[in-house]
Amino acid sequence: MKIASYARCAAAFAVSAAFAMPALADETCNSPYMARLIKGQEDYLHVWTLGMKGVGDESDKLVTVDANPKSSTFGKVIHSLSVGGRGEAHHMGFTDDRKYLWAGRLDDSKIFVFDVGTNPAKPKLVKTITDLAKKTGYVGPHTFYAMPGRMLVQGLSNTKDHGGVTGLATYNNKGEFVAKHDMPTAEVGGVKGDGYGYDIAINPAKNALLTSSFTGWNNYMMDMGKLIQDQEAMKRFGNTMVLWDLKAMKPQKIFSVPGAPLEIRWSLNPGDNWAVTASALTSKLWVVRPDGKGEWQAKEVATIGDPSKIPLPVDISITADGKGLWVNTFMDGKTRYFDFTNPDAPKQTYEKVTGSQVNMISQSWDGKRVYITSSLLANWDKKGADDQQFLALYHWDGKELAEQWRIDFYKEKLGRAHHMKFTAKPQKSAAADAPAKLALRQ
Amino acid sequence: MRAIATLAAVLSLGAAAHELGGPVMDFVPPPPGSYVLQAIQRAPAGRVVDAFGRTAPLAAHVTGRITLLSFVYTYCTDPTGCPLAYEAFVTLRERIARDKSLAGRVRLVSLSFDPTNDSPEAMRAYGGKFATATDVPWHFLTTRSVGDLSPILDGFSLDVEVELDEKGRETRVISYLLKVFLIDRRGVVREIYTTAFLLPDMMMNDIRTLALEEGARP
């Protein structure tokens, strides 16, 4: 609990701009249930980083970078918090109050809870959750998605055979296990579920939860070169997306989306009713939306690069107005921009090589700043000189990406740079900005 | 008159919230009893004071009936904050009162974030006619101090700031996220609503789902 100085003003709830109400700020990939959205300039970037043997302290860590151009340490690493060991650090997610970051490891399934709200310049590890596998039978906590008072965690694998059949776990904000929901393997809406999982995206106005599908521990922990030679292993990738009734937590429909659909993003433009994903192995963009009869459908809408060369689209970032989409392709190191003015027929309008290998991409609400990192998975990252590990800031003026700075994570002895999240300095008390009191009490 | 003025002012702010683009419900909610509400956590212990100055454990106000609990300030002006929650509660109160299957099974609770300014008298004025209604009890609560309030807020995992006066005394807490808690008769939180999900139709279905779970008449 924080202490604030005295203010002679009416207090007010600084209520989050929830999804069903027009979103107002922050990264476009966050849960719609989050509060304290960042309006304007982010102050810090937190990078969940994989430890590497022979690099620095060799531990997985949360790296904090100063992201405010007015700061004397702009573009510099200002803090690093090692958690001990290497467990395949991967993705993170904020709690609904934006105070904590839950960060997961895909190998040992540990979940680290960092307080980034009290002093975002110096995060603190406040809790380590270690019971996911025991409570659920799931392995590989991938996506952390805030619900009111809870965290929805998408697994990638399971304890039985380390394949891709997995499920969703719910924890309360205290870090206590609440419930589990297996990904469907039966037929729903004419399509058989493969039981695989990857990302989560919720549209509260539609009571809709969308999930996608990747692969299990046997594959994501395997060396990439060995994996692509293993024909049987290459068959074990997800080929579906699932639309869930969010309230009931029941699958309503399964879509056939071949080739491992990964990140999912709902358009945040008020009135829009669609979500987009990219399929990694088939190199396609897919849009999920209701058809003219109100029936939800998944439709392939664009091709990314030359699929025969397997550019491997990975992370995507949708613009706040839903009119544009950044897509990173890992193998050719390209950052691509798609014009989504017509989501049924998006067109690539720009591309730039931003690294030898690129994965995550995060943009500011106004779209002017784009951050990119390099690592995909420890055993899938490239080798030798192509194994660049970095965080880079680009400016986007609508026509060209211009690099401002790049942090070499090898040079800084940090490790493999993966998932990013923005924070800002603690804002003034809401009371200081509140409107005048009504004469409710006299 | 002041109580009526208070209610009118608060409700007008809640209505304004919808005009500003309040929560949208573009779906048909699943029927009551067709789904299970998860046991999220147990409501914390604590000591509160009601609108008539009587001290009691929080448990007395969140067990024995299905409870909807909201945190408020009597002077809150953000139209998408507590007035929205207040409007939802007024709507729900009317619907609950009309539903014979819920008779005697549901209560509403509004608990203040501000022990210094929101005295029992202030809470009674804020509640107006609802503070004494018997058909659907609506408890307007405060606490004697921030020290009494803090464990309750921590227990609900609410991230708040404690405000100090010029002498360093704790006066009230400031919250950044509207949350309403649905608690079953055992005192277990079964649903949490933030603004995007403060939908009376959905909340009624959740209340009825808990009632069905308890074995109420459908």
CA A125 centroid distance within chain? 20
- CB contacts of A19 in chain B (<8 Å) are 196
- Amino acid, single-letter form, for residue A238: G
- Per-residue pLDDT averaged across B191-197, rounded? 88
Whether B101 is in a domain gets the answer yes
Question: How far off is chain A from B72, nearest CA to CA, in Å?
Answer: 9
Whether B35 is in a domain gets the answer no
The strand ranges marked E within A20-107 are 44-50, 61-66, 77-82, 89-94, 100-105
Task: Note whether A270 contacts B122, CB cutoff 8 Å.
Answer: no
CA distance A64 to A74: 11
- Per-residue pLDDT averaged across B13-21, rounded? 44
Whether B38 is in a domain gets the answer no
Contact present, A283 and A314 (Cβ < 8 Å): no
User: What pLDDT sits at residue A429?
Assistant: 45
| Tokens 């709200």, located at residue | A117
- CB contacts of B151 in chain A (<8 Å) are none
Which of A13, A36, A96 is opposite residue B81, by nearest beta carbon? Answer: A13
Angle at B116 between CA B111 and CA B118, to 5 degrees: 40
Contact present, A395 and A404 (Cβ < 8 Å): yes
Q: Which domain holds residue B17?
A: 2-23+43-214
Return per-residue pLDDT of chain A as tens, 442 residues.
Answer: 655 543 333 333 333 333 334 456 688 888 888 888 888 899 999 999 999 999 999 999 999 999 999 999 999 999 999 999 999 999 999 999 999 999 999 999 999 999 999 999 999 999 999 999 999 999 999 999 999 999 999 999 999 999 999 999 999 999 999 999 999 999 999 999 999 999 999 999 999 999 999 999 999 999 999 999 999 999 999 999 999 999 999 999 999 999 999 999 999 999 899 999 999 999 999 999 999 999 999 999 999 999 999 999 999 999 999 999 999 999 999 999 999 999 999 999 999 999 999 999 999 999 999 999 999 999 999 999 999 999 999 999 999 999 999 999 999 999 999 999 999 997 654 443 332 232 222 2
Task: Note whether A435 contacts B77, CB cutoff 8 Å.
Answer: yes
Whether B31 is in a domain gets the answer no
- CB contacts of A22 in chain B (<8 Å) are 21
DSSP A356: S
Task: Note whether A6 contacts B41, CB cutoff 8 Å.
Answer: no
Whether B7 is in a domain gets the answer yes
Which of the two residues, B2 and A257, has the higher pLDDT score?
A257
User: What pLDDT sits at residue B3?
Assistant: 34
Nearest to A33 by CA among A49, A15, A50: A15
Question: How far off is chain B from A155, nearest CA to CA, in Å?
Answer: 19
Contact present, A208 and B30 (Cβ < 8 Å): no
CATH number for the domain spanning B128: value is: 3.40.30.10
Whether B36 is in a domain gets the answer no
CA distance A100 to B158: 12
User: What pLDDT sits at residue A237?
Assistant: 98
Task: Note whether B153 contacts A436, CB cutoff 8 Å.
Answer: no
- CB contacts of A440 in chain B (<8 Å) are 5-6, 9-10, 74-75, 126
CA distance A353 to B31: 51
Task: Note whether A437 contacts B194, CB cutoff 8 Å.
Answer: no
How many domains is chain B built from? 1
Whether B79 is in a domain gets the answer yes
- Amino acid, single-letter form, for residue B216: A
Question: How far off is chain B from A98, nearest CA to CA, in Å?
Answer: 9
CA distance A17 to B54: 37
Q: Give the contacts of A204 (CB within 8 A, at least 6 positions apart).
A: A18, A19, A20, A32, A33, A246, B23, B196, B197
Q: If you count them, how many residues does chain A have?
A: 442
User: What pLDDT sits at residue B160?
Assistant: 85
- Which of A126, A433, A440, A442 to mutate against chain B (most B CBs within 10 Å)? A440
Whether B32 is in a domain gets the answer no
Which strand ranges, in their side-by-side order, compose the sheet holding A208-211? A200-203, A208-211, A240-245, A250-256
Which of A21, A117, A437 is opposite residue B159, by nearest beta carbon? Answer: A117
Q: Which chain B residue lies closest to A37 (C-alpha atoms)?
A: B176
- CB contacts of B175 in chain A (<8 Å) are 13
Question: How far off is chain A from B114, nearest CA to CA, in Å?
Answer: 10
Task: Note whether A36 contacts B176, CB cutoff 8 Å.
Answer: yes
Q: pTM for this structure? A: 0.92
H helices of A323-407, in order, are none
User: What pLDDT sits at residue A61?
Assistant: 98
Helix axes B2-19, B82-98, angle to 10 degrees: 100
Q: Which chain A residue lies closest to B128 (C-alpha atoms)?
A: A440
- Amino acid, single-letter form, for residue A104: G
Helix axes B120-127, B2-19, angle to 10 degrees: 70
- CB contacts of B146 in chain A (<8 Å) are none
> pLDDT digit string (tens) for B96-143?
999 999 999 999 999 999 999 999 999 999 999 999 999 999 999 999
* The two structure tokens encoding residue A238: 């997800």
Task: Note whether B196 contacts A442, CB cutoff 8 Å.
Answer: no
| Tokens 């509160």, located at residue | B48
| Tokens 């069903």, located at residue | A20
Which of A1, A15, A442 is opposite residue B80, by nearest beta carbon? Answer: A15
Task: Note whether B172 contacts A11, CB cutoff 8 Å.
Answer: yes
- CB contacts of A209 in chain B (<8 Å) are none
Nearest to A414 by CA among A42, A79, A39, A73: A79
Ramachandran region of residue A263, left (φ > 0), alpha (ψ -120 to 50) or beta? beta
Q: Is the pLDDT of residue B74 over 80?
A: yes
